[in-house]
Structure 1
Amino acid sequence: MILKGAEINRYLARPDPTRPALLIYGQDAMRVALKRAEAVAALTGPNADEEMRLTRIAGSELRKDQTLLRDAIKEVGFFPGQRVVLVEDAPDATAPAVEAAINDWSHGDAAIVVTAGGLTKSSALRKLFQTHKTAVTAPIYDDPPGQDEIAAWLSAAGLREVPQAAMRDLVTLSRALDPGDFRQMVEKIGLYKHGDSTPLEPAEIALLAPSTVEAEVDDLIDIVAEGRTGDFGPLMRRIEAQGILPVTICIAALRHFRALHAASADPGGAQAGLSRLRPPVFGPRRDRMARQVQAWGMRNLEDALHHLLETDLQLRSATRAPQMPLIERALIRLAMMPRGSR
């Protein structure tokens, strides 16, 4: 039995314990590990490790001793409940041992869960599961999680209802983060909202999302982009005292103004353009940057990028000019540039 599309997530959330074996495979080891953990937890329920209802066998060990799996599924546990034998990182050479265990499996034996990396169409392990009448194959692709899957994770974390605006930002964020990092963030949201009956807000997602640059450097670039010259000096002195390198500030400014420029050129508008960036911009941060895009205009943003690139080249050259005054002068010049489309 080969699972396809939405069937994969539905089945792994509630695997059938009457089927002898499940193969989970894919190129992305983190995605496979997350799905494996979900399937095993659904089969065994809580406390499986403590109650010795979960047996782990490394694929390399099974290749050396092909009786390990068949013996493990027949063992009788001391505690009631579903037992699982997990074969992790199974190479193709384990196919004969897995086949022997499946053929010898009967109701009451432990369910077999096998994980593997990317398997080709000619893989013996893949052929075994795909052609078997009762075993299940779950290929895990590198697609980011969809809205239904994210909603299920949020529900498991204690959030039953999520407003559409917050869900939209979570879907956007899931495309930028590694699967493990995104799953950890969902769990963090659950802890943050524990006991809080108010809806999840985009601002809270932005607060909990991993930061890509130092917060104070981010604030400094916003001051520059918004022309708030009166706020520039005190924050610049604080950043300088922290020892942040001038080239780091310049890179952050280039990244920010490139994002503004890309958003200004997006046919769907600034909001859509910022959502399509990698990493994407979302929540209140997206609204703020969209206002900056509108204030600057395409031509002014091109001039700003040209000026920042020149400054970056100077900072990386063999010039003896003090570097902090170089970047400070460049940012002040940007903060004082006229705004508006031209």
Structure 2
Amino acid sequence: MKLATRDADGYFARPEPDRTGLLIYGADAMRVSLKRQQVLAALLGPGADEEMRLTRMPGGELRKEAAPLIDAIKAQGFFPGARAVFVEDANDTAFASIEAALTDWRPGDAQIVVTAGALKATSKLRKLFEGHRNAYAVGLYDDPPGRAEIERMLATAGLRDVPNDAMGVLTALASEIGPGDFAQTLEKLSLYKLGDSSPVTLAEIAACAPRSTEAALDDVLNVVAEGKDGEVGPLIRRLTAQGTTAVSLCIGAARHFRLLYTMASDPGGAASGAGRVRPPLFGARRDRLVRQAQSWGAERLEMALSHLIDTDLQLRSAGQRAPAMALVERTLIRLARLAGRG
């Protein structure tokens, strides 16, 4: 049977132990893996690996014969409790073996949980589970988790006191980063709050969230935007040593100043504009960028973007002979001095 997306989250949290099997498929391997971990934990409970109630089997092993899978679902262990056989990274080459196991399955046998990558509607494996009366097929797509799913993840991580502003930031963050990165962020946040029963704050989220750019690049762009022209050269030399190219630095600078311009030109002011940008800004980084946007103003930020566009065109010009990084450094120093005159 095909399990609708709206019903899938509820089933992953409370799987039915008397089902023959479950197929979870999707293009995002991390998303599939996280859901597989959730459903197996809910189905088997703690200690399944130690008690040998979970058998793992690569899908590639089922290309030639079904016997290993059938033997695994029939095997009886020494410990009581639900059992499952997990078939990882299956595709249509394993169709015949999995079909034979589903046909041979009887009540009391281990449940068959299969994961796969993206499967077309014509996939034999997908049709097998969708057409089975006692098995489910669930397709996972790249939709960000909803509020209910985020609340479940927070509860699993032991984070229960999350105010509305923090929940809003986490919801926005979940829509901008991958499911694995978001799960790691919640895990780090849980460790950060270990032994601390106070509500989750925006600063704590900022401390645990992944950074979208490298620290050295952030450093040079911040000193330029804050008018510290004397610090530009040493930071650029550090970036050069790390392998950053002049073009990528120019593009990063243009992105930074375009973000400031978006904030500064918001009718409600820079603070209001910061709430509209994506990826979301929060914590100390948000406050710093708001101050930069307010200090520059929309008019001077237009001038800064004009300088950066001219430099970018010069870098890409066929007749350009001057050292590329020197051109970018000169432009950034000019911008830092422009900020200093504010």
**TM norm structure 1:** 0.86
Q: Does 2:234 match 1:233?
A: no
Gaps of 5+ in 1: none
Query: Structure 1 residue 269: deviation in Å?
Result: 6.8
* Cα distance in structure 1, aligned partners of 2:328 and 2:102: 66
Where in structure 2 are the equivalents of 1:1-342 lying within 5 Å? 1-227=1-227, 229=228, 232-234=229-231, 236-237=233-234, 240=237, 243=241, 247=246, 249-264=249-264, 274=274, 277=277, 279-313=279-313, 326-337=327-338
Deviation at 1:281? 2.6
Amino acid of the structure 1 residue aligned with 2:335:
L
Q: Which amino acid aligns with 1:92?
A: D
Range moving further from structure 2, 242-251 or 68-77 = 242-251
Partners of 1:269 and 1:322 lie apart in 2 by: 39
Asked whether the 8 Å contact 1:221–1:256 carries over to 2, the reply is yes
Which string of whole-angstrom CA distances, capped at 9 and with x for unpartnered residues, describes residues 193-252 of structure 1?
11111111111111122223343542443343244x4xx425754664674668365443
Distance in 1 (CA, whole Å) between partners of 2:21 and 2:67 is 16
8 Å contact from structure 1 (residues 23, 137) kept in 2 = yes
Instruction: Name the SS for the 2:85 alignment partner.
Output: strand
Unaligned segments of structure 2, at least 5 residues:
none
Counterpart contact for 1:24–1:32, Cα < 8 Å: yes
Cα offset, 1:157, TM superposition: 1.2
More off after superposition, 317-326 vs 249-258: 317-326
Percent sequence identity over matched residues?
Answer: 54
* Aligned amino acid, residue 233 of structure 1: G
Between the aligned partners of 1:37 and 1:333, the Cα distance in structure 2 is 53
Q: How far, CA to CA, are the matches of 2:24 and 2:238 in structure 1?
A: 52
Deviation, 1:105, is: 2.0
Contact 1:172/1:275 (8 A) holds in 2: no
Distance 1:266 1:148, change over 3 A: farther
> Which segment is superposed worse, 77-86 or 235-244?
235-244
Name the CA distance, whole Å, in 1 between partners of 2:46 and 2:255.
45
Q: Return the alpha-carbon distance in structure 2 between the equivalents of residues 94 and 246 of structure 1.
A: 47
Q: How big is the shift at 1:273?
A: 5.3
CA shift digits 1:110-131 (9 cap, x unpaired): 1110111222222222222222
Q: Do the aligned partners of residues 117 and 328 (structure 1) sit closer, same or farther apart at CA in structure 2, a change above 3 Å counting?
A: closer
Classify 1:199/1:178 alpha carbon distance in 2 versus 1 (closer, same or farther; 3 Å): same
- Which has the higher mean CA deviation after the structures are superposed, 104-113 or 274-283? 274-283
Give, in whole Å, the separation in 2 of the partners of 1:55 and 1:11: 21
Give the TM-score normalised by structure 2. 0.86
Moved more, 278-287 or 31-40: 278-287
For the structure 1 residues 271 and 21, does the alpha-carbon distance in structure 2 shift closer, same or farther, using more than 3 Å as the test? farther
- 1:107: Cα distance to partner? 2.4
Change (3 A) 1:64 1:271: farther
- Report the residue type matching 2:40 in the other structure: V
For the residues of structure 2 that align with 1:285 and 1:297, how far apart are their CA atoms? 18
